Structure formats: C-alpha cells, structure tokens
Structure 1
Amino acid sequence: MTENLEARIEILEQELLRLHAREGVLVAFNQYLYGIDTGFIDDILDAFAEEAVLDVLNFPPDGVDMHFNGREEMAPLYERYRSSESMISGGHTTSNIAIVVDTDATSASLSAYFTTTRPSGVQGGRYEGFLQLENDSKWRFTKLAIISAWGWKAETKKISDPVNADRSFFGGRPASGT
C-alpha cells in the first residue's frame, strides 16, 4: 500500500507541475495580448526570451513576411502599439487555445486562433509558438509565429472611443495574483 501511495503521490506531483506550467504559459500569452491592446511595450517584449525568434507571416495590408531575432530586433515592430496614455483599444481575441507541456514542465508549445480589429476592418489567423520556463520563474516565448490568414476591409462608423487604462480594475493588464 505504501509503495502504491508513493507512486500515486509522485504522479500527482508531476501532474501538478504540468498544470502549473499550463497556467504560466497562459499568463505569458495574456501578457503579450494585453500589452498590444494597451500599448505596454515593455510587457510585450517581456513575454519573449531575450534571444527569441518572431516570424510574422502575411502581415496586412500587403502580405509581407517578417523575421526578427531577439527582443531588440522586434521592438520597432511593436512601437506602433505604444500608447502615450495607456488606452485600452483594439482587442486581440483568441480561441481554440492548445497548450502542450513537455514532461519536464519547463517547455511548452502553444497554438491559438486570433481575431483582431484594425483601423480599416478585421483580421484573423493563428499564433503558433514555443515557450520556456526561465530562471526568474516566468514563461517566455522562445519562438512565435503570427500567421495572418484572413482579413476584411470595412466601411466603418466609429461607435466608441478607447478607454483610459486607469479606468480598468487592473490598469489594462490581465488579472494577476501578484
């Protein structure tokens, strides 16, 4: 009975590590998404490992493919999202999120569909990436592909303005226990 109990405890401990890892991956992904929607560039870049690789495929409106090595190279791409007033705007909505955590619970893969608003319409596609648990106990992307798969231009009529982040309970960032 004792051997069986010890084996069951070990299995449960491993499962707990994997569940904790899944939660950490979601925290990193949300940090990235909320960062774009509120213009917190430091949060966006902090979601990546220092030497991470970013591939942006079929970027609208011209269908350009872009490749970046490291945070320093990718920083100019995200400057367009910077908000001088920390506004909550846009909306990167994700669905069908799949996370696979490796058995050692220190690396993971993630895929998700996204839909987002753009000044001239809507766009959608997929995120596909790999993350790693770093020495500071944070999960970060080591490689991320943003694949734009579709988009529509629309004649739009503005129905609301962005909201200042200070009007949000969490300052425009995801809910956090810290």
Structure 2
Amino acid sequence: MHQLNDLYPEDKKECYKLLHSQLKALLDNEINVIPNLSNTSALLNGALKDINWVGFYLIHNEELLLGPFQGKPACIHIKIGKGVCGTAVFKNEVQVVKDVHEFSGHIPCDSASKSEIVIPIHFSEKVIGVLDIDSPVLNRFDEMDKEGLEELVKLLEHGCNWTNFKMG
C-alpha cells in the first residue's frame, strides 16, 4: 500500500505546484476558516515527506491558540514572542529553523521534532496566526519550502472569511 505522500512529485517545486492547485480547489466556494484550515493541514500532512506535525495557531486574547492540525497532541497556548511560532508572530517573518534544539526558547511539544518552519498568516495587514510544520529530520526545510508554503498561506489569506472569525 502506498502512503499518500508517495503519490506526490519528488521535485519540491512540482509538489508545491500540485499542492497549490489542490488547495485552490478545496477553497473554491468555501470561505469558512475552520474547515479550510482543517483541510489544508490534512492536505499538507498527506503530501509532505519527513514531517511529524502540521497545523495552525491563531491569535486569541493576545496569544497563539492551537487550531486545526495533524499529528500528536500539541501545546495549546503559546505567548507571542515565545518559541518558534511566537517569534514568527512577534517579528512578522517566516522562521526556518534547521535545528530546534539550537533555537533559544524553543517550546518542545514533540521530542521527535528536530526542525521547523513557521509562516505568518495575515489579515488587514496584521498577523492573525501561523502555519507551523515540524520535522523529525534536521535541516528539513529550505528556501523552496518557504516559498511554496508562503504561496499556500496567501491562498488561505484571500480564500477565507477572516472578517467575522473569532477564536474561542
């Protein structure tokens, strides 16, 4: 039996191109945040190799609150400015961490995680959450992952109705 990610192209550029078209189709005629984030985490979990967690944290009451994800149970609350996710929000920039054990203030939710990438999500020019992906492999994420995931997040930024969305 094939694992789902075995059905995706080995070439990262081609893989992200396929993911982009698949996410665009999933978002077609659906603007609700929770189902869209849920389907996105499932899509990425099935496609990306060498990952052990993928999901979303959304800002609620001036902290990050766990949203839809795929993987082991995760940290529920993350203070802005703390850990990789909180740093991505505080700095408003993508965080690509080659070795999480060398990241000052890393919050270990899964001891198997060795590298991580976090992409901020924006609405009305403000960070409203992040896409977080962990890997059990050191140096798993590169510039192509950063670019491909930023494009997917842009689809979510424009494809969801964030106006009336409230966490909690």
TM superposition score normalised by structure 1? 0.26
Q: Which has a greater percent of helix?
A: 2
Bigger-Rg structure (1/2):
1
Q: Which has a greater percent of strand?
A: 1
TM superposition score normalised by structure 2? 0.27
